[in-house]
Amino acid sequence: MQRASRLKRELSLLTTEPPPGVTCWQNGNQLDELRAQILGGADTPYEKGIFNLEIVVPERYPFEPPKIRFLTPIYHPNIDSAGRICLDVLKLPPKGAWRPSLNISTLLTSIQLLMAEPNPDDPLMADISSEYKYNRQLFLLNAREWTEKHARQ
């Protein structure tokens, strides 16, 4: 019961006061399956891209973080080809930084920040990470191409 009322509260906040560049909604009538969209930030290779994400809220939420993955392909060192995201707030301690005080809005904002500022020292995609570190121009070119190909509406 606690989970349902918290999710309803979070969703209504996400509807009335969404973080800039983020939208989130219920997928059908399932309260534990959400969809989100993140707009690629200005001055990033993802600019003008619209990225779709899937959010699955576990039974134990907020004591366990939601599972979030990209449905739109994205060229990024911390996001793999299945859309999985390497980000500490998406994992439980001791390896992660999830806390029940965090919410879906915070997570989506953190993912948006990760898109703008990749963390090449904790990659899911080693090849993209080394490209980001040692050949930034090529990384930017590839990321822009992928955005153009997969994330433009």
Identified catalytic residue from 53, 86, 87, 104: 86
The reply to whether 24 belongs to the active site is: no
* Residue 67: C-alpha distances to residues 109, 119, 133 (Å): 15, 20, 28
Q: Which two tokens stand for residue 141?
A: 């070119």
What is the Cα–Cα distance from 26 to 8, expressed in whole angstroms?
10
SS (H, E, C) 65-97: CCEEEECCCCCECCECCCCEECCHHHCCCCCCC
What is the Cα–Cα distance from 128 to 77, expressed in whole angstroms?
5
Catalytic residues: 86
